[in-house]
Amino acid sequence: MTTPRDALRSILPAAGWSRDVSDEVDFTGTGDPMMRTPYEVGTAGAATIAASGLAAAHLWEVRGGEKQRVGIDLRHAGAAMRSGHYMKLGDGALSAARNGIMGFYPTKDGRWSYLHCNFANHRAVALKVVGVPTEDRAAVAKAVTGWTAADLEEAIIANKGAGGMVRTAEEWKRHPQGIAVAGLPLMEIVKIGDSAPEPLPAGDRPLSGIRVVDITRVLAGPTCARTLAEHGADVMKISAAHLPNLGYQEWDTGHGKLNAHIDMRDPAQLETLRGLVRDADVFSQGYRPGSLGARGLSPEELAKLRPGIVCVSLSAFGHEGPWAGRRGFDTVVQTVSGMTLRQAEVFPGKEPGPQFYPLSAIDYCTGYLMAFGAMVALARRAEQGGSWLVRISLAQVGKWIVDLGEVPAAALKDVPADFTPDEIARWSTTSQTPSGLLKHLAPVAQLSRTPGFWARPSVPLGHHKPAWPPRAAASAAADD
């Protein structure tokens, strides 16, 4: 098995850092297996969270602060890979249940197809493609038997849906996109423009005074911005009223953020967004590669709009290969890369067929790595100047998790289905939100001199106006 420290050491080259930097992290507690999966998800979570903590600690040193240590509780880090499951708003839990149509279906060629249906628009595409007018799982299953898995995969994508054919790990390694992903590093931090060095704004936290525009959705990108807020950044989450969302995820990833609506289809509102970027330091987006160019929001255009910007770019399958422009999610990457078949081999479900692991490790690990890259780029901007691009994909992180190896089969017997209530209570905190008291997991990374915390509570989408508060407010709690 891979140790958390060795996993961390595999991340550090992305920043050009020595392996020895990992010695600044104290890992405590017991590691994998933590949940019913052969993958080393606890190790992956601990390593990526540790990387983000190290980057925050380094920024503190760039400010002139003292060196500090980063503490990571391994089991807390594992729980953070499914933090959306451990929330209670007011008197009730927030449901993380998936839509009933979402899932795997056998096809006529003896294979399996995955339909991603959590979002209403993707569900509508799936139903349209298979020719079923209502949300009837039995009818969908019958209709899918008329398709080959490969043909259904392409039809869903052609109609702007999401899903995929279930593949083995060997099939993915031979697939043109699997080959393209294998040729990419875990992540990239590259200079995309020249500008003068920018000292970090005054403040008492690693990211005090840093402004982040976050237009990402679902889990990975919002986790990045949540992590930056954890270390003191002012984050402006941008969504729009017409975009579908899963409510519980917004409470999970909204900690520390301002939250505004901007409809980028409206030229006037798009200009408002550009105005926010002009006064920002980081722009984080999760749209498919090249898709924001028509709105003047490509990394190169943003570097002209705001020299010194740090652009964080997330995609599903990377910026190279035939699937570079294809939409996807954690579950889709699991499906096409062999992970769901391997999960089913080790932990079969109640029904036959592929299985997802019981968390969202690709999503959350990707988010922490995005935050790590953003903070490394901010340090480079302070010391060297320039505009920077942090580039990563879910598929690259999925490959990294697979490459960590598996938990030995003998250790997977009698693994509990979840963490204990006492553990969850110990790792939890509360925030007073506009909708009531929210109980949720606290930050995992424990920095010895600048402890992480969220100065703002999660709020409903569109709760704030799209305008920056004064930078002096970055380190103070705000309820505006």
Average pLDDT, the chain: 94
- Per-residue pLDDT at 478: 43
pLDDT band at 429, cuts 50/70/90? very high
Q: Is the Cα dihedral 73, 222, 11, 404 positive or negative? A: positive
How many whole angstroms separate alpha carbon 244 and alpha carbon 261? 13
Integer-rounded Cα Rg, in Å, for the chain is 21
How many whole angstroms separate alpha carbon 425 and alpha carbon 116? 32
Helical residues (DSSP H) of 306-392, grouped into ranges: 330-336, 339-346, 361-384
- Per-residue pLDDT at 477: 42
Q: Is the Cα dihedral 138, 347, 355, 112 positive or negative? A: negative
Distance of CA 128 to the CA centre of its chain: 29
Residues in the chain: 480
- The residue type found at 43 is T
Tokens, residue 53: 């903590």
- Per-residue pLDDT at 246: 75
- The residue type found at 15 is A
pLDDT at 326 over 50: yes
pLDDT at 97 over 80: no
CATH number of 4-95+182-318+359-473, picked from 1.10.3720.10, 3.30.1280.10, 3.40.718.10, 3.40.50.10540 = 3.40.50.10540
- Per-residue pLDDT at 296: 84
Q: Which residues of 120-154 are buried (b: 16+ CB within 10 A; e: fewer)?
A: eebbebbbebbebeeeeeebbbebbeebebeebbe
Strands 163-165 and 112-115: antiparallel
pLDDT band at 472, cuts 50/70/90? low
Q: Which residues pair with 234 in a beta bridge?
A: 211
- Per-residue pLDDT at 433: 96
pLDDT in tens, 251-304: 999 999 999 999 999 999 999 999 999 999 999 998 877 778 778 899 999 999
Q: What are the C-alpha distances in Å from 15 to residues 61, 185, 217, 229?
A: 16, 12, 25, 21
pLDDT in tens, 440-459: 999 999 999 999 999 999 99
Please give the residue that has the higher pLDDT: either 244 or 324: 324
Q: Which residues pair with 214 in a beta bridge?
A: 237, 284
Give one DSSP letter per residue of 406-440, joined into a string: B--GGGGTT--SS--HHHHHHHEEEEEETTEEEEE
How many whole angstroms separate alpha carbon 190 and alpha carbon 184? 14
> What does the pLDDT average to over 136-159?
96
What DSSP designation does 88 have?
E
**Which H helix or E strand runs over 46?**
helix 41-62
pLDDT at 400 over 50: yes
> What does the pLDDT average to over 81-86?
95
Please give the residue that has the higher pLDDT: either 27 or 90: 27
- Per-residue pLDDT at 274: 96
Tokens, residue 444: 């995992």
> What does the pLDDT average to over 156-162?
94
How many whole angstroms separate alpha carbon 388 and alpha carbon 283? 10
Tokens, residue 123: 């569900």
Tokens, residue 319: 């910026």
Instruction: With CA atoms as reference, report the closest residue to 182 among 396, 26, 1.
Output: 396
Domain spans of the chain, in order of start? 4-95+182-318+359-473
pLDDT at 476 over 50: no
pLDDT at 213 over 80: yes
> What does the pLDDT average to over 34-44?
97
- For a pLDDT cut of 90, what percent of the chain falls above it? 89
- Asked which of 44-53, 91-100, 161-170, 297-306 is least confident by mean pLDDT, the reply is 91-100
